[in-house]
Amino acid sequence: MKSGTAFGVDIGGSGIKGARVDLVRGRLVTERIRIDTPHPATPEAVVQTVVDLVQRARWRGPVGCTFPGIVKHGLVQSANNLDRAWLGVDADRVLTERLGQPVTVLNDADAAGLAEATFGAGRNHKGVTVLLTFGTGIGSALLINGRLVANSELGQLEIRGKRAELRASDRVREQKGLSWKQWAKRAQELLSRIELLLSPDLFIIGGGASKHAEKFLPHLLTHAAVVPAALLNDAGIVGAALARERESASTARAKPARAPRRAARRAAPRGRPRSSRG
């Protein structure tokens, strides 16, 4: 069962955002605090920014934190939009030590997927759900009956000799001046490839492009339903806080139960013990 609130932090290439999250309703209960991502975005600089943000929020307690790259068991294995010095860093450990509170770090798209599957467009949805975030790049989250398969990175699939995110991200749309109909054809190629590989039941479209869903969704033809993300810019923060809460619950369940105290035996009467014989 979810405990009241947790704090979520969403690290991005341009900004780092955070807020307190209601874990029952999946909503922010405080205003988002945003601080520009430092440049260069080294581990030291980014960690200090996260510390400053959490202190500004006057939060003391567990923290969930997204990261724009692959994160396995707290270890950073890719950092396309941050400094390469992040590679190999134990982000869980570093942030936990600096904040003095338990911290869980996960991929940013995975956090958004958790939030949408729990509170948003994928809530109570059975089967295979794929969330795609079309922004600076293309992130993805793969969920099966609501359970996350971490670090799917479907935006790295090759389409026409290039990584999909180099053809169909929202940034590419802006740079090339593509109409929404033109851009939808590129997005369609990625969705069709994913359908061929995974046969999903639902696509959720997030990221900056999701704000204009009515302009491109009618041009997408898929077997699976395609819907816009419901939580928009709050998804990363909500998902990060939720991941931290689930980690706390998992850790608590893993602890061995304390052995029950034995009832104290009545003290034997002093003196010579009685013989069992008559």
pLDDT tens-digit readout, 221-257: 999 999 999 998 899 999 999 999 998 777 766 655 5
- The structural domain count of the chain equals 2
Same domain? 161 vs 96: no
Residue with tokens 């609130």: 5
Average pLDDT over residues 79-89: 92
Provide the residue type at 91 as one letter: A
Which residues 6+ apart lie within 8 Å of 246 measured at CB? none
Does residue 116 lie in a domain region?
A: no
Does residue 11 lie in a domain region?
A: yes
Does residue 256 lie in a domain region?
A: no
- With a cut of 70, say whether residue 260 has pLDDT above it: no
Which residues 6+ apart lie within 8 Å of 228 measured at CB? 121, 204, 205, 206, 210, 213, 217
Are the C-beta atoms of 8 and 64 separated by less than 8 Å? yes
Same domain? 81 vs 95: yes
Same domain? 153 vs 204: yes
Residue with tokens 């009515």: 214
- pTM of whole model > 0.95? no
Length of the chain: 278
Q: What is the CATH number of the domain that holds 50?
A: 3.30.420.40
- With a cut of 60, say whether residue 4 has pLDDT above it: yes
Same domain? 171 vs 129: yes
Beta strands per DSSP E along 31-144: 33-36, 63-67, 71-72, 75-76, 103-107, 128-134, 138-144
Average pLDDT over residues 72-84: 92
Same domain? 86 vs 179: no
Which domain, by its residues, includes 182? 121-229
Give the model's pLDDT for residue 248.
Answer: 79
Does residue 261 lie in a domain region?
A: no
Spatial separation of the C-alpha atoms in residues 115 and 123, rounded to whole Å = 9
Give the model's pLDDT for residue 266.
Answer: 45
pLDDT digits (tens, 9 = 90+) for 34-61: 999 999 999 999 999 999 999 999 999 9
Same domain? 204 vs 221: yes
Does residue 22 lie in a domain region?
A: yes
Same domain? 59 vs 159: no
Does residue 75 lie in a domain region?
A: yes
Provide the residue type at 119 as one letter: F
Average pLDDT along the chain: 90
pLDDT digits (tens, 9 = 90+) for 135-154: 989 999 999 999 999 999 99
- With a cut of 80, say whether residue 129 has pLDDT above it: yes
Give the model's pLDDT for residue 156.
Answer: 94
Does residue 83 lie in a domain region?
A: yes
Q: Give whole-number Cα distances, 268 to 92, 202, 263, 275, in Å.
A: 55, 71, 15, 14
Confidence category of residue 3, pLDDT binned at 50, 70, 90: low
Give the model's pLDDT for residue 80.
Answer: 78
Per cent of the chain over pLDDT 70 is 89
**Higher per-residue confidence, 261 vs 48:** 48
Burial pattern 166-198, b for ≥16 Cβ within 10 A else e, equals bbbbbbbbeeeeeebeebbebbbbbbeebeeee
Give the model's pLDDT for residue 233.
Answer: 87
Same domain? 10 vs 52: yes
